[in-house]
Amino acid sequence: MSLDPQLIQQMTQWRRHMHSFPECGFDLPLTADFIAEKLESFGLEVIRHIGKQGIIAVLRSGDGQKSIGLRADMDALFINEENTFAHCSMHQGKMHACGHDGHSAMLLGAASYLAQNKDFNGTVYFIFQPDEEHGEGAQAMIDDGLFERFQIDAVYGLHNMPGLAEGKYIVRPGSLMASETSFEIVINGIGGHAAMPHKGVDPIVVGSQVILGLQTIVSRNLNAIEETAVVSATEFLTNGTVNVIPSKVTIKGDCRCFSEASLAKIEESMERIVSGICHAAGAQYEFTFSNAFYPTVNNPVQTQHAIAAANKVFGKDNVDPDCLPLTISEDFSSMLRVKPGCYALIGNGVESVGGCALHNPNYDFNDNILGFGAQYWVQLVSDQLA
């Protein structure tokens, strides 16, 4: 199976159009309309406004009862683009710096091809998701009945990877990507004159002990072989000044791990440390642990299906079926907590625009890989709905 060069050219045009008019979060009226209108022009049944701006397009063929869900993200980032090519962002302060324009274009290409070549038996659900960057879009669609209103057996996702050569594909069963959780610790002491610290409770000293204590979570509470994790304090804020001991310290930070069991251990250990140190010093505290992204955990069965399709599209020598886990995060993880599925990555290139890092003002999706992504989706549908 190979795609018509004309379709690849169309995908390039669609991708560059979306790149020129980026929108962020759930505020995606132009992007959602553009995608929905394309899907309707292909003859698909389109349902809008699932999880605010999410889109589901339904394509049925034959009388088969099996189904598959294919997901792409639509949102951009609040970044000022520094590229100067013709399709650069027309919306100041917003740009597609993560390649969601390319992800949407690849899935549109697959929808167009499958609508014209219904060589499958069952139902394909094309899922276009808002607000991946803030980690809320997938859950919003789920909360709005994504998996109750549509009988999706398994769900698959795909992301580009700068630094990985064009035509390469990587995946792994189990934990592929880490969780992302932020924490905030507010320590309330008793402030006073810097010359008379004995008359108060110095939250700077207490906060410093807390930060040192946090370093024991990974080294002394998690299994060194099985529970890889990172806990980082990234901000230390006070309301003091040069000769004033503050009354309050705020510690903020970020932690990453690869299982929900590890995440629970980190949260429990963190509060125990904060509580103990503050109690010993006579300080009060407030503790917030806010999960933005769960670990992305691929189902072994669906991962094997994904690898089989990738071997046919990319060639077995270009497929890494057991790559190292990645400490980046992805809110497709929320869908994988509800349905079995698999998330994978394809190379965006190693030089020029293809190698520029994600979330960089000079990033651009590599149009040369649009065909790979669309063919992968089509092959996956062909295999799973044979």
Q: Is residue 176 within 8 Å of 297, Cβ to Cβ?
A: yes
Between CA 6 and CA 374 the distance in angstroms is 13
DSSP state, 367? G
Per DSSP, the three-state class of 135 is coil
Q: Which of 75, 133, 180, 364 is catalytic?
A: 75
C-alpha–C-alpha distance, residues 320 and 300, integer Å: 15
Q: Using CA atoms, how far apart are residues 129 and 133, in angstroms rounded to an integer? A: 11
Query: CA-CA distance, 148 to 153, in Å (whole number)?
Result: 11
**Cα gap 150→102, rounded to integer Å:** 25
45 is catalytic: no
The answer to whether 329 touches 135, Cβ cutoff 8 Å, is yes
Active site residue 132: yes
* C-alpha 134, offset from chain centre: 8
Catalytic residue chosen out of the listed positions 23, 81, 131, 132: 132
The candidate with the shortest Cα–Cα distance to 71, out of 31, 123, 106, 96, is: 106
Beta bridge partners of residue 45, listed in sequence order: 58
User: Considering only CA atoms, which of 94, 158, 98, 161 is closest in space to residue 128?
Assistant: 158
Distance CA 142, CA 51 (A): 7
> What tokens were used for 143?
């909360």
- Which are the catalytic amino acids? 75, 132
